[in-house]
A and B are shown apart, each in its own frame.
Chain A
Amino acid sequence: MDTGEDRLLIPPPAVALTEPPGEAAGDPPRRGQQQNAGFAPWDDPAAVPLIEFEGVSKSYGETLAVDDLSLAIYPREFFALLGPSGCGKTTLMRLLAGFETPSAGTIRLEGRDLGAVPPHERPINMMFQSYALFPHLSVWDNIAFGLRRDRVAKPEIARRVDEMLTLVQLTGQARRKPHQLSGGQRQRVALARSLAKRPRVLLLDEPLAALDKKLRGETQFELMNLQEEVGITFLIVTHDQEEAMVLADRIAIMREGRIEQVAPPRRLYESPASRYVADFVGDVNLIEGTVTESGPGGVRVAAEGIGATLLTAPSDEAATGAPGCVAVRPEKIAIGPAGDGPPPAHNALEGVIYDYAYLGEYTLFRVRTASGHLIEASRLNRSRFDDNPLTWDDRVVLSFEADDAVFLDR
């Protein structure tokens, strides 16, 4: 567990910058590797989605909680929903579980329209954001509740409940009532209860938010294992980007009831579709400008504000003369003292260090350019010693590869 857990704790920028999650000997298989190993049904036109949202809207009076949303989730996929508070994540799950009826559009499971299927007949279980544990039932009975409905044989119920209790490390609390548990323990009961039935689809609404880091890491790992064993399709809501990246095959970024972008973690982080996504996932520098040239070699952008011409990776969206912005992540920007040899051929910005923070694994610099813009650059602390320390008011040169920057037109 040790090595696996350590990796979970590394923040995504560092992982992305240096190397993909390593393959220590004897490590159990991880989803992340699987996903690289070719689990990508969304790219396969022949793949049949398990869940389909087609033009689904849900309005509460004036509020449009879900807005003409279309989405396909594939069998055995681990799908994460990420987005700011109130963007409609819970509503989307409740629509799928059947607690809300869409104002428009259809939701299908295995091609079958779920419109007329009541919640108790949907092979979908949900872990509620508020847990919704039955206060009069013990932990044990809460977990057994769904199994009893399925007419599972008694010894089998006992076996499955004990298995779940072990999974969420609550064996000692089985006889307690929910009000005698801590917040994190309650959350684990809710998780165990929704897992116990081994549904086709499991909806988890912020399932690990109340857990401490260690337990969260272990539970994430168990969720992944469970998915491999049982083949459950997961739809998870989380506020924790790191968690979404660790767990998910694909992540959807939601904004005001719509989906802004759906992509595997790496594509989402490295090729965001919009400023909103780039800004929402991780840290990013957004530099406004106008396209002066666009081709297979890249996009040249005149960043008038900052007074520089920047080159980015090629983009289909870039038309000469169109406004847009250059997005580049702090860890993609190299930082060095000014006047240290000839400046880089392109994508070089000069400035002074306005502020910096030592964060252990890396140091984050905020550099003020002559135009007054603040650019963030981070440097991985590969050595225990800082050979050429940079400090406040040092003149520095920032530079980045054209391929490490993307052009965004929206």
Chain B
Amino acid sequence: MAPRSPAPKISRWRANLAAIPPYVWLLLFFLAPFLIILKISFSEAVIAQPPYSPVLSLSDGVSGLWAAVREFTFANYAFLAEDSLYIRAYLSSLTIAAISTALTLLVGYPIALAMARAPHGWRPLLVALMILPFWTSFLIRVYAWIGILKRDGLLNQVLLWSGLISEPLTILNTNTAVYIGIVYTYLPFMVLPLYAALERQDRALLEAAADLGSPPLLAFWQVTVRLSLPGIVAGCLLVFIPVVGEFVIPNLLGGSSTLMIGQTLWDEFFQNRDWPLASTVAVLLVLVLVVPITLFQRIQSRGGL
């Protein structure tokens, strides 16, 4: 290294320094817990405290660790593969998540568009209204939906009174109720990134498309939708990922036929106290979710959006 050119090196080092906090965050709050869960998934369930074996203990030194590692087993993974319940639960979760993400997008896009096209002064208020529901407990809001959707609930009363139906609808404890609950709960997560993408769009671009011969609907598709694609992807991921592992909404609003991996996970942990199997379910869930995220990252870094 020439003695006269240390400056670029230092500045590059500084730049790297700035990237450290997010990595520390990931390490502490994602990677470390994940490794613990991963380790437990290779263990065997026992009736003890903690309820699995082997237990890693740093006091036994490297040889002790190695002895424990040699006891690791893939039995839990084999079990998951054999029992179709788990595979069905995964598939059903993914399906429900996909459908409800699509529904949320369908409902959220017009809302975000209306917000982005609203007069400048109104927009902060509209954003505030969008996140207002977060001020009350999520559980209470889901319970409120029970009151609305049940057989003699608000919705059925209104529909009966208006004469649209003559028999009360059964919505509560069906997948429909789950979809309603999910769309309602996750709507802000869809609307906010969409709004961010739509709001900074230059309105002159729509005019340019029209000027060059695109009728309004085509121009909307070519410009507005196309340029909001990053927002669409971000919103869909923000909804899809948590919904796959959703537990509360299917539990409270869904019926016996609603099968989601979050419930399965809960049952294994708290009903059966089979921590290793529950950990295995969780590890596989992470893997299932990592795939779409990595895909998204790929597309984005290639500048495709």
Inter-chain contacts of A125 with B (CB < 8 A): 211-212
A130: Cβ under 8 A from any B Cβ: yes
Give the segment of A68-76, A132-140, A316-324, A332-340 that binds chain B.
A132-140
- B205:A197 contact, CB within 8 angstroms: no
Question: Complex Cα distance A256/B209, Å?
Answer: 30
Query: Which of the residues A126, A132, A197 comes within 8 Å of B213, measured between beta carbons?
Result: A197
Stretch in A36-44, A145-153, A217-225, A371-379 touching the partner: A145-153
A135 pairs with B227, CB closer than 8 A: yes
* A61 interfacial by beta-carbon distance below 8 Å: no
Given known A136-B226, A136-B227, contact A128–B214 (CB-CB < 8 A): no
Q: Which residues of B contact A126 (CB under 8 A)?
A: 211
Decide if B214 touches A130 in the complex (CB within 8 Å).
no
What separation, in Å, do the CA atoms of A133 and B212 have in the docked complex? 12
- Contact with B204, one of A98, A132, A145 (Cβ below 8 angstroms): A132
Which residues does chain B contribute within 8 Å of A132, judged by CB atoms? 202, 204-205, 207-208
- Interface flags for A85-108 (1: CB within 8 Å of B; 0: not) read 000000000000111000000000
A213 in the interface (beta carbon within 8 A): no
* B45 proximal to A (CB < 8 A): no
CB neighbours (8 Å) of A296 from chain B are: none
A120-176 residues with Cβ-Cβ distance < 8 A to B are 120, 124-126, 128, 130, 132-136, 145-146, 149-150
Q: Mark out the residues of chain B between 204 and 252 whose CB falls within 8 Å of any chain A CB in the assembled complex.
A: 204-205, 207-216, 219, 223, 226-227
- A119 close to B227 (CB less than 8 A): no
Within 8 A of A (CB), among B173-201: none
Interface range for B: 10 to 19
Cβ contacts under 8 Å, B209 to chain A:
134, 145
Given A132-B204, A132-B207, A197-B213, decide whether A120 and B219 contact each other with a Cβ distance below 8 A: yes
| Chain A residues within 8 Å of B211, by CB | 97, 99, 119-120, 124-126, 146, 194
Asked if A149 contacts B207 (CB within 8 A), the reply is no
Contacts of A198 in B (CB 8 A): none
B-contact bits for A181-207, CB 8 A (1 contact / 0 none): 000000000000110010000000000
Across-interface contacts of B216 in A (CB, < 8 A): 118, 120
Q: Report yes or no: A145 in contact with B212, Cβ–Cβ below 8 A.
A: yes
A146: contacting residue among B207, B213, B226, CB under 8 A:
B213
Contact between chains at A119 and B207 (CB < 8 Å): yes
Q: Which of A119, A133, A136 has the most CB of B within 10 A?
A: A119
Contact of A128 among B208, B219, B226 (CB under 8 A): B208
Q: Known interface pairs A128-B204, A134-B205, A134-B208. Does A120 touch B227 (Cβ–Cβ under 8 Å)?
A: no
CB distance from B206 to the nearest CB of A (A): 9
A97 to chain B: which residues have CB within 8 Å?
207, 211
Binding site for B on A (CB under 8 A): 97-99, 118-120, 124-126, 128, 130, 132-136, 145-146, 149-150, 193-194, 197
- Give 14 new A-B contacts, CB below 8 A, not counting A120-B212, A132-B208, A134-B209: A97-B207, A97-B211, A118-B215, A120-B216, A125-B212, A128-B207, A128-B208, A130-B204, A132-B202, A135-B227, A146-B212, A149-B212, A150-B213, A197-B212
Q: Across chains A and B, which 6 residue pairs bring their CB atoms closest together, nearest first?
A: A149-B213, A146-B212, A132-B204, A132-B208, A119-B210, A120-B210
Q: Give 15 pairs: A residue, B residue, CB < 8 Å, sorted on A.
A: A98-B210, A119-B207, A120-B212, A120-B213, A126-B211, A128-B204, A130-B204, A132-B208, A133-B208, A135-B205, A136-B226, A136-B227, A146-B211, A146-B213, A197-B212
